[in-house]
Each structure stands twice: as C-alpha cells, then as structure tokens.
Amino acid sequence: MTALVYILGDQLTRDLASLRGCAKDDTVVLMTELDEETRYVGHHKQKLVFILSAMRHFAQELSAAGWRVDYVKLDDPNNSGAFTGELARALERHAIDQIRIVKAGEWRVQAMIDEWPDRFDVTVRQFDDDRFICSLDAFDAWAEDRSSLTMEFFYREMRRKTGLLMSDGEPEGGRWNFDKENRKPAKSDLFMPDRLAFEPDEITLAVIHLVEMRFADNVGRLAGFGFAVTRDDAESVLERFLDCALQSFGTYQDAMLTGEAFLYHAVISPYINIGFLDPLAICRRVEAAYRAGRVPLNAAEGFIRQIIGWREFVRGIYWREMPGYVERNFLEADRNLPAFYWSGETDMHCLAEAIGQTLDHAYAHHIQRLMITGNFALLIGADPKQVHEWYLEVYADAYEWVELPNTLGMSQFGDGGLLGTKPYASSGNYIDKMSDYCGSCRYDVKVKAGEGACPFNPLYWHFLDRNRDKLQGSRRLAMPYRTWDGMDAARREEYLESARSFLRGLR
C-alpha cells in the first residue's frame, strides 16, 4: 500500500506523526511551495526566506535519509498554488492508496483538509499534532465547566502533567511563579550575548533571489538575513541560549534597550513553530540546567512557563474559539493602523525602535510586541483585525494559531477578557521604567499633556475614558478610574484634548 505523506511548511519534524510507521520504499512525501500560503498576508521578506529555505533544507534532509520526496517549488510553471490543487496533481503523478497528514495549525488550512475525503477517491488519514504537549481534547477537558480560563491554573496542570520543576508533588522552590523577581530594567552597560547568525548557503541564496523577484514590495529588509534554516543550526541557537542567556532570561525578560533587539531572549520561536525544535525537550534541558546549578530558578521557571503555559494555552484557546474569534472586536475599535507600522518612521522613539528592528530582523521580543506596538494600537483604537494582520505579516514566528490569541486577545482586548483579565494599556511611565527609550525621544515622558507630551500619556486616559462603559466593571481597573475621577474637570479636558489633537494628526 503506497502512502502519500503531505508535509506542510510548519511541520518540518523528522518523527512527524504522519511519517511514523511508514516504509520508506512505499511512501511518497509531498511538500509544496504555494502562492496561497505565501500571499494570504504580505509576509515579511525574511519570514518568507526562512520558511521556504527551511522547507527546502528539510526536503533535502529527508531525501538523504532515504525518503522519496516530491517537492514542488513556487516557480514550477504547473504549480496550482494551493494545497488542494497540489494534492490533486500529485495523485496524478503517483499511484496512491492513502493520504496521510498531520492536522494543520491554522483553521483556514484545516478547513481545506476537511474537504479532501469528499473530493478525492483515496482514504485520508489525519493525525493529531502531537508535537504539542497538551492535546486539543485534553485542553477542552480542562476548560470544560470552568467559568473563566486562567493561564496560571492551566500552567499548574501542565507542571503536574509533565513533572517539570516539581518535587514530591509540590512546585520547586515552594511557589509556582517567580515573576516578582523578573521585572528588572536592564542597565545600558550590561554585556549582552551576541545573536548566533548564519551565512546564507546556496539554497538560501536561491530563495533570497526568488523572494526579491516575486515579493519585492513586501514589508521588511532582507539584508542581514541570519536565521537558522536547518534543525542542526536551530539546535546551535538553542545551545547558545542555554549557555549564555538563560541565566539572565527571567530577570531581564521585560527590559528594553535601544539598539539591542535580542537581549536575553532565546529567539527560538520560529524554530519551535516550524518543527525544528521540540518544546518539551527544550523545557527538560532548561530544567536540567537549573538542577545542575547553572541557572537560577526564576529564569528556568519563567522560561518553562512561556512554553508549557502560554504557548499551549493560546493554542487551546484558538481552536476552541475559531472561526468566530478573528472577528471579535469587544472595544469596537475601527481606526486604521498608522503607516509608520510599515516604515518605522515616527518621532516616538520606542515605536521607531520596536518597528525598526522588526523590519530588520522579523523579530521583536514579547514586551515590545505587547507594551510598545500593541499598547499603542490599543490606545489609539486601531481595528484589531488590522493589528492581527500586521503581526501575522511581520514576525518570522507568526502563524495564526499563536499570533491571533496573543494579538486580538492578550494585546487588543478584542475578546473582552477571555485571554487576559485586563487590557495591557499603559502610559509612557511603564515604558520609561522598563527601557532607555525615553531619554532619546523628541517627546518628554514627564510631560503629561499638551505640547511636547509623550503621546502615550494623554492617550492612556483617552482610552480609559472612551471605553468606560465596557471597562469600568473590571476590578483591576478600579484604581485608574478612581484616579481619573479624582482629577478636576479642566485637567481631564486637557488630557482629552491633547489626545484628540494627536489622533487628528495620525496617518
């Protein structure tokens, strides 16, 4: 019986469930570069190069291991441009008895796969994606009957289930969470580990050429492309992180510094999401580093929480809430995202930094995504669907299952608090505390309203004031609303007018 194993672009894993148990001499592996996938949003040029080059290297690795790989390139003149069309063509090329595929990460693609049994006269076997630690059924079972879904409680379940950082059934160190130790600003004289960057080989150079030709108008700069495009190189990135950066990951997790895009972050999300690195194996290595005394508990716990907590949690939420989730807009926000999100050209230094490095590296760390670009979009009332599409475009690690809950839910409060208990809105004060950005900004973070004021300051109050009906019931916002109500009317009007005037000038 000949099987066709269809491997999608974010399923580049050697022991993928659909490959397991297949005989090499009786299996065709199909991989396809597609117009549909490369164009459903205007992906950052580096994201395209990363994914296409990683796919080509992975196909080569499978061939070298003895698999028969049928690989369709983007510029193949017969390429239909879509998963279903390429499957139909492949079935004409090969005599196939069974199609095997791991379920897609994105709802959009899974909806196509679900049509295949009716469309093709061949058995279609779909496999759960067991590269995730929590299956979707297990997530649903956990979520069932809970009035609210809190990441922290899900995370504790995952700690118990995996045994990570547990001793005798109790959390290591007597606490589940060490975030109190984790919110330090970084000092400008700190020695940051260098990012491990890789010279493009011949395969990557060919893809760079393809992307330059076909996607010349897409967002982002290709110069300096340095992503790992093989599993071995991704492994080296992980090792560098474990050796040089994990130690300080927790302490400086929320810090931001001018000119420092990576600080103590791992920069491995593109590799986990594409299938090169295994999330549970990474967590076990982080735990081992802690147990060997090489890294402190706050670093190991903080890191493991992001992976077995947040990453698994947002995926569970995505699949529970789709397809309606993408349309949610609790705050009824409808402003266009300003043009500088695609150019980085703004006098607001924090935004210029976060967007500039995004254009350069297709990367920004979590707090930049949440508290700079996300916070600003939230404060100005940007349409959450536009914000979502921007994040899906610009980051090399962006796939809808992980990006959408983080953006629409956590960052834009579009789901009304399903994912986070309050909106991540802040004035300039938070940015000043956690970064060195304000020191070199045209605006003054200490000026609260009017000429020269940091725009985040009046915008923060404008946001709270205009969304009062929807937000004032939140216990976590009681304090800011009390402060707002305690101001005299003239002061409040000064803030509101300052914000209105800024918003009028926004393009």
Chain-centroid distance of CA 146 in Å reads 26
349 forms part of the interface with ligand SF4 (CB under 6 A): yes
Residues numbered 90 to 109 that lie near ligand DLZ (CB under 6 A) are 104-106, 109
Binding track over 399-418 against ligand DLZ, x by CB under 6 A: x-------------------
* Interatomic CA distance for residues 443 and 44, integer angstroms: 30
* Interatomic CA distance for residues 330 and 423, integer angstroms: 11
129 forms part of the interface with ligand DLZ (CB under 6 A): no
Size of the site for ligand DLZ (CB under 6 A): 16
Q: Which partner, ligand SF4, ligand DLZ, ligand FAD, none, binds residue 456 by CB below 5 to 8 Å per kind?
A: ligand SF4
Q: Which partner, ligand DLZ, ligand FAD, ligand SF4, none, binds residue 48 by CB below 5 to 8 Å per kind?
A: ligand DLZ
What is the CA angle 149-151-157, rounded to 5? 95
464 forms part of the interface with ligand FAD (CB under 6 A): no
Interface pick for ligand SF4 out of 276, 363, 456, 461 (rule CB under 6 A): 456
* Interatomic CA distance for residues 267 and 240, integer angstroms: 11
Interface pick for ligand FAD out of 257, 295, 410, 434 (rule CB under 6 A): 410
Contact 1, 97 (CB under 8 A): yes
Do you find a cis peptide bond into 323, omega within 30 degrees of 0? yes
DSSP secondary structure code for residue 179 in this structure: G
351 forms part of the interface with ligand FAD (CB under 6 A): no
Q: Which partner, ligand FAD, ligand DLZ, ligand SF4, none, binds residue 208 by CB below 5 to 8 Å per kind?
A: none
CB of 463 to ligand FAD, least distance (A): 17
Alpha carbon separation from 507 to 335, 337, 338 (Å, rounded)? 10, 8, 5
Stretch that binds ligand SF4, among 108-116, 298-306, 404-412, 438-446 (CB under 6 A): 438-446
Strands (E), 145-272: 166-167, 170-171
Stretch that binds ligand SF4, among 100-108, 330-338, 437-445, 464-472 (CB under 6 A): 437-445
Q: Tokens 């090399």, residue?
A: 396
Interface pick for ligand DLZ out of 3, 19, 28, 37 (rule CB under 6 A): 37
267 forms part of the interface with ligand FAD (CB under 6 A): yes
What is the chain's Cα-based Rg?
24
The burial of 15, by beta-carbon neighbours within 10 Å (0-12 exposed, 13-18 middle, 19 or more buried), is given as exposed
Interface pick for ligand FAD out of 322, 398, 418, 459 (rule CB under 6 A): 398
3 state DSSP class of 259: coil
CB of 211 to ligand DLZ, least distance (A): 10
Neighbours of 39 (CB within 10 A): 14
43 forms part of the interface with ligand DLZ (CB under 6 A): yes
270 versus 356: smaller Cβ distance to ligand DLZ: 270
* Residue 169 zone, left/alpha/beta (φ > 0; ψ -120 to 50; rest): left
Q: Tokens 């926000």, residue?
A: 333
* Residue 165 zone, left/alpha/beta (φ > 0; ψ -120 to 50; rest): left
Q: Which partner, ligand SF4, ligand DLZ, ligand FAD, none, binds residue 51 by CB below 5 to 8 Å per kind?
A: ligand DLZ
51 versus 441: smaller Cβ distance to ligand DLZ: 51
List interacting residues with ligand SF4 (CB under 6 A): 348-350, 428, 431-432, 437-438, 441, 443, 445, 454-456
